[in-house]
Amino acid sequence: MDPKQERALLRRARNDPQALRALYDHYFPKVYAYTSYRVGRVQDAEDIVADVFLTAVDKLDMFRWRGEGSFAAWLFRIARNRVSDFYRRGRGSEEGVALEDLPCLASSALLPADAIARKERFAHLRRLIDTLSPRRREVILLRFFGGLRNKEIAALLELDERTVASHLCRGLRDLHRQYVDEEKREVPHEQGV
């Protein structure tokens, strides 16, 4: 979203439903995707996403524009805090989410049409991402699923932009390594069947 447009929407969003809706439409998919990867289950993701946006509406007065990306960073800070709360209260399980509880994927030509297969792909990727260090995992999730730019991630995580880029590259390499290793491990398994 164009920063000028975003700033204008933010000024109006306090009491203009259309402005609020425009911001919501832009950020909802990103917050939802990020949260889904962090918590796994659809129901948990929905609860947290609802809480994030309701909190944002309530606290909009407290938001201070600090240039491009500042709102995204502010909104995702709320989301990260809510996810942290979720795990701190012991409501989250890092593993063992049933397939039917996983979210649907947006679609892609790269993935099979079968919804179950897509969900398996989601679960697989989520497992791999969970093997990364917390910082790299966060950068990968914010970049690929939160749709944040490096500059916005840097503002959110209070890092230098180049450090974010570095985490992104190395996180992706770690992930790739895991991916290749798993494929190698799967070959003898498949042969044995």
Partner 1 sequence: MSKEYELTEQDRMLLEEIEESLADGEGREEGALHGLGVRLASTVPRADDAFRERLASRLVARMQQRTAHEADEEVTGRRGARRWFPLGRLLAQIPSPATGLGWAVTALILCLFFGTVTYAVVPAVSRLFQLEDGLQHVEQADLVQELDLSQTMHGVTVTLERAYADANRIVVDYTVKHPDDQRYEASRLTLTDADGNVFPRTVGWGASGRSDLFGIELPEGEGNYVNSFDAASVKGAPAELDLRLAMELREFVLPTDTPGTSVGSSSAPAEPAEPMVVELEPMPQGDVVGTFAFDFSVPFIPGRVVEVDQTVETAGVAMRLERVVVTPSEARAYLRFDPPTEVETSWTSIVTLRAPDDRKTRGDFYAVADDSPVHVYGFPAPLHERQGEWTLKVTELVGTELVPPYEQVRLAGPWEFRFRVP
CA separation, residue 189 to residues 52, 131, 178, 184, 192 (Å): 43, 22, 17, 9, 5
Contact 28, 53 (CB under 8 A): yes
106 near partner 1, judged by CB under 8 A: yes
Contact 105, 119 (CB under 8 A): yes
Closer residue to partner 1 in complex, CB, 134/192:
134
Residue list 123-162, contact with partner 1 (CB under 8 A): 125, 134, 140, 143-145, 157-158, 160, 162
115 near partner 1, judged by CB under 8 A: no
Contact 107, 50 (CB under 8 A): no
Give me the least distance between CB of 2 and partner 1, in Å please.
17
Phi, psi (5° rounding) for residue 41?
-75, 140
Which residue of 5, 8, 66, 131 would you call a contact of partner 1, by CB under 8 A? Answer: 66
Residue list 6-65, contact with partner 1 (CB under 8 A): 13-15, 17, 20-21, 24, 28-29, 32-33, 36-37, 42, 45-46, 49-50, 53-55, 57-59, 62-64
- Whose tokens are 């399980």? That residue is 93
Tokens of 49: 């996403």
Give me the least distance between CB of 8 and partner 1, in Å please.
17
Tokens of 97: 């989410």
Which residue of 115, 133, 179, 186 would you call a contact of partner 1, by CB under 8 A? Answer: 179
Site string for partner 1, 155-174 (x = CB under 8 A): --xx-x-xx-xxxxx--xx-
